[in-house]
Structure 1
Amino acid sequence: MAADFGIRPGSRMVFTGVVTLFVHTSFCSKPLGARVGRGGEIAIRVLLSARELGITTIAIFTQDDPNHTTLADEAILLDSPKDFVDVAKIVFICLDQKADSLHPPYGFLLENPELVKRLEQAGITFIEPTAQILRETSDKTLACSLALRNGFLVLAASDATTRCIQDAKAFINSVGYPVMIKAVDGGGGRGISLVEGAADLETSFSRACGESPSGNVFMEKTAIRGFRNIEIQMIGDSYGEVTHLWKRECNIQRRFQKVIELVPSTIKDRCVIREVINSAVRLARSIRYQSLSTFEFLVHESSGESYFLEVNPRVQVEHTDTEEVAGIDIVRSQLLLALGIPLPDLDLPSSQWDDSSSMRQHAIQLRVTAEDAKKGFTLSMGRISNHKLPEGQGIRVDTHLRRANSTTVGPAYDSLLAKVIVRASTSETTGQKAIRALHDFQITGVQSNIPVLLGVLQSEDFIRGACSIR
């Protein structure tokens, strides 16, 4: 039975971030609020799920990014994009609007334990993990320590964070190349540098520090050849119940930013995958994880080796793959858990099938970005005057692009324009549909990475399922 959180008709709930939604619901027990990432596809994604649950929404936005506000009941104009990562301003908005909770999407602010602490002090519920869970998981060095305490293999890493390159040199002298330099508070591929030799060390170290909000990094011995980047979708309620929604494979990356994600994994040995899933569940249960997250591992199919990599304590950009294969709404499930619904009441498909291959569905997500590959994947800025989205059975597009409003691509936000998600009964059919969908996707006004995505999908290695992280 669900706990009584005291939500009453007329209560208000907030989703903040590049979108803030203040919600009112008629069936729950306690007003909730939410923080959403940029006013892009994730903002629209959460707004739609909230509306389906009878939640009234208020969106916050900036002048050059208003497209999502058409789906909200009310909207608040901010002065600049910097307001989205201003803890004091976000908390003030919640209090001023008499909101009772906040929902985060992707972004640095959502993994900030200080935000959660301030919200708790103000009596505002955070629709994501608790402050304690964030402290243990969002800092990558602490997450690795947690994994070690629970008996997981972890790649050799520096003992403490640093801003000093001499510390990096000392670590490399002890373990050798190649190594990764990672921002402790990075995300979305930012703050990560692969260093394969001394010639690259200083530049890579400086770049990783510069992309860290705190300026702190740590070093990690890396495993690259033959390893796959496997992430397990985790979900937990506030009563100690934790389960999984299978796995995704995320080997195709550009500057450590995932661009193509697959379900199921191309690893054919299901025993290897099953062991990784069980390990992720065991680790999540050890901290009574709440809400959504992914636990990431590096897995080598032929040797069976697996190393814990990190925890992402939030809804991931690539959650759509899992939704398509499982036939569920992950964001809706997250909101229901925040409203006090126990995990067993969600009747998730993983309670019936241990492996997504039992669903006989394949899915692939393609991130379409405003980047010019011919200029080193630099941001392609400009105004999108026209676009045409792909259509057809098994084709889904999550995007903030709207025909009624032109969209400006500028330096304030990331380059993501849309996510094309393709579902079919076999990997071959999924790949064919994805290629057709990308050919049908038209954008006028900026360059995109569509030619690069097509090149990957049509490559022999990808078709054979032979792509590893290197």
Structure 2
Amino acid sequence: MNQPKPIQKLLVANRSEIAIRVFRAATELQIKTVGVYAKQDKFSLHRFKADESYQIGANLGPIQAYRAIDEILKVARSTNTDAIHPGYGFLSENPEFAEACLDADIQFIGPSPAIMRKLGNKVSARHEAEIADVQVLPATGPLPEDEEQIRELADHVGYPLMLKASWGGGGRGMRVIDSPDDLLESVNLGRRETLSAFGSSEVYLEKLIRRARHVEVQLLGDLYGNIVHLFERDCSIQRRNQKIIERAPALFLSDEQRQTLCNSAVRLVKSVVYINAGTAEFLFDDDTGECYFIEVNPRIQVEHTVTEEITGIDIVKAQIRIAGGAVVGDVEDSGVPLQDQITRNGYALQCRVTTENPEENFIPDYGRISAYRGAAGFGIRLDGGTAYSGAVITRYYDSLLEKVTAWAPTADEAVQRMIRALKEFRIRGLATNLVFLENLLGHPTFLDGTYTTRFIDDTSELLNFSKR
């Protein structure tokens, strides 16, 4: 293996919050930063947070611009960029992009194309999990085009089913299928959605767990085979398979369950010699207590902040250092200690503040933010890209406005700190989900920790709002 070159200049092939997050980490490492932006983002904050920024995709749509591999690499070459960080979404799980970076002699901050093909594709990742003796749910392979074959495969796994995209995440393309009557329409809708979101229409069917808890393990691996976990996050608070609140650690896990879970995740990624940051995701059946692997996200996650708060490890900095050849286990080199020296301190949770209107079936709202006041105080962290007075929220991108992360010594105190922070926000000019988040955090089921992934969809009183 060739020794990686020191990173002097880094391009972020992404936008908004995650681009700014990576720029900040790189700047603290004294690395110059390059931004790219679609023409619809010409006034976006991330453009001005980089040391230099360039428009891409002048003749492309707002989403396609950030998927234009050739244009991104053209900017990287012209600016003498050493490395590219893909963020999350867009090209972050695209092995062709990772390969194109390496072919251009530019470091890709993430796993290798080969690992991405093995684990970024959920069907392939399931196969690797089985080889590593990690329990998986019954599922099909990629669905064929033939409708009769699709019916036969669905019958073999057994209803109810969950339709999933083979590539990508974020709940895109997911559909619950309760009976054969819903099967073909759901598959066709899911295929269209995944093609739009990820550029691939490949989908598969997985056995559905009705009462599930969704837990993921944060992992970091270096170029020399060293892999550690940074414990788990509970991502069970979801609406229509989209994560809303994430917590660390997962309160329902015993120490023994936590150790088994984390060991399974490490065993899986070690079997493929995983490099850089990744997340192994699992479902716990709340009725049986069984735990099943579902997928690996071979990238940074939106919710990585809660893990950073309880471990004190800057995951994005670790990504950049590891890509530059740093060793996991050498704190001065990578910022990541040996496994037995990685400890948890306190409790953290993250809420996603969005411009969705909960009183109108969560329809995204668009327009200019006429007034903005955020939260502050001890134990509160804000990560945003369009959260400021005068910002224009367009219909082109995800509705995420800002991520709010609260830390405290106890779980209850972290929740109360988050509630206090949310009440401090004042956002005028467009709708947000702030009151919905407050209802979630104050609900007895959330407070006693007995929720599953169906909590939001099955709890109608969460939509009873009082005036702010």
TM-score after normalising by structure 1: 0.89
Shift of 1:48: 0.6
SS of residue paired to 1:85 = coil
Of the three residues 28, 34, 42, the one matched with 1:58 is 34
Match of 2:459 in 1: none
- Shift of the alpha carbon at 1:280? 0.5
Aligned pair partner of 1:206 in 188, 198, 216: 188
1:47–1:57 contact (8 Å) kept in structure 2:
yes
The answer on 1:131 being equivalent to 2:108 is no
2:201 is matched with which residue: 204, 215, 218? 215
Deviations 1:88-141 (A, max 9, x none): 222222223232321111014121111122222221211110011001011110
Matching residue's letter, 1:236 = G
CA shift for structure 1 position 3: 8.4
Q: Is the 8 A contact 1:267 1:301 kept in 2?
A: no
% same residue:
37
1:348 pairs with 2:336: yes
Q: CA deviation at 1:175?
A: 2.8
Q: Distance in 2 between matches of 1:167 and 1:89?
A: 40
Cα gap change, 1:233 to 1:369, in 2 (>3 Å): same
Question: 1:438 maps to what in 2?
Answer: 422
Amino acid in structure 1 at the alignment position of 2:187: F
In structure 1, what residue type is equivalent to 2:432?
A: S
Q: 1:425 — aligned with what?
A: 409
Provide the C-alpha distance between the structure 2 equivalents of 1:59 and 1:354, rounded to a whole number of angstroms.
33
Match for residue 22 of structure 2 among 46, 56, 59: 46
Asked if residue 416 in structure 1 is aligned to residue 434 in structure 2, the reply is: no
Q: CA separation of 1:200/1:435 partners in 2, compared to 1, >3 Å: closer, same or farther?
A: farther
Partner of 1:87: 69
Residue 158 of structure 1 pairs with residue 114 of structure 2: no
1:109-188 superposed matches below 5 A: 109-188=91-170
Provide closer, same or farther for how the CA distance between residues 163 and 188 of structure 1 changes in structure 2, counting only shifts above 3 A.
farther
Q: Deviations over 1:288-333 (max 9, x none)?
A: 1100000001124674411111000000000000111111211111
Distance in 1 (CA, whole Å) between partners of 2:423 and 2:213 is 28
Structure 2 match to 1:5: 4
2:229 aligns with 244
Question: Which letter does structure 1 place at the counterpart of 2:351?
Answer: L
| Structure 1 residue identity aligned to 2:209 | A
Secondary structure of the residue aligned to 2:376 is coil
Q: What are the ranges of 5 or more consecutive residues in structure 1 without an aligned counterpart?
A: 19-38
**Letter of the aligned partner of 2:19 in structure 1?**
A
Which residue does 1:67 correspond to in 2? 45
The whole-number CA distance in structure 2 between the counterparts of 1:441 and 1:448 is 10
Cα drift, residue 176 of structure 1: 2.3
Give 1:5's aligned amino acid.
P
Unpaired runs of 5+ residues, structure 2, are 455-468
1:380 aligns with 2:358: no
CA separation of 1:6/1:331 partners in 2, compared to 1, >3 Å: closer, same or farther? closer
Q: Kindly tell me: are residues 306 and 268 of structure 1, through their superposed partners in 2, closer, same or farther at Cα, counting changes over 3 Å?
A: closer
Q: What residue in structure 2 maps to residue 23 of structure 1? A: none
Q: Residue 458 of structure 1 corresponds to which residue in structure 2? A: 442
Q: Kindly indicate whether residue 54 of structure 2 is the aligned counterpart of residue 76 of structure 1.
A: yes
1:282 aligns with 2:267: yes
In the TM superposition, what is the alpha-carbon distance from 1:428 to its structure 2 partner? 1.0
Which stretch of the first structure deviates more once superposed, 293-302 or 382-391?
Answer: 293-302
| Deviations 1:204-256 (CA, angstroms, capped at 9, x unpaired) | 2222111112212111112231x311100000000111111010000011121
Instruction: Judge conservation of contact 2:311–2:342 (CA < 8 Å) in 1.
Output: no
Q: CA RMSD in A?
A: 2.0
- How many pairs does the alignment contain? 441
The answer to whether the 8 A contact 1:61-1:77 is kept is yes
